[in-house]
Amino acid sequence: MRTVQPDIFVDAEDRRIASSSRSLSAIAARLTAINPDPLIKVSEAARSIPVDPEVVYAWIDQGAFEYMDVGGGKSGKPYYMINRAGFLEFLATRLNKIGDGQWKQK
């Protein structure tokens, strides 16, 4: 399991994310431009916000949204695909927690 700040989205990463991701609709549009499929890669989810992919892996470890492990082929390592709708719902919950569909500025 990865070590990560318990509520990294609202705490330290908040300021950096706020500079590039203003609303859920902007994130959804960026995610669609990256990959229009209903299942997205961890790297694509991370790029849409943007955060380090390790943050997305930590959210997966916490069970924050639906995903599936499609396997890493011969390596046997996990390879996660994320449910786009579940990821956006997770982000919407976070935005509502911060307030009014906008990232909180500190």
Mean pLDDT of 23-30: 84
d(C-alpha 70, C-alpha 78), whole Å = 7
Give the pTM. 0.71
Per-residue pLDDT at 53 = 92
Highest mean pLDDT: which of 6-15, 20-29, 48-57, 66-75?
48-57
- Helices (DSSP H) in the chain: which residue ranges? 13-18, 24-34, 42-48, 53-62, 84-98
- Give the tokens for residue 35: 């990959």
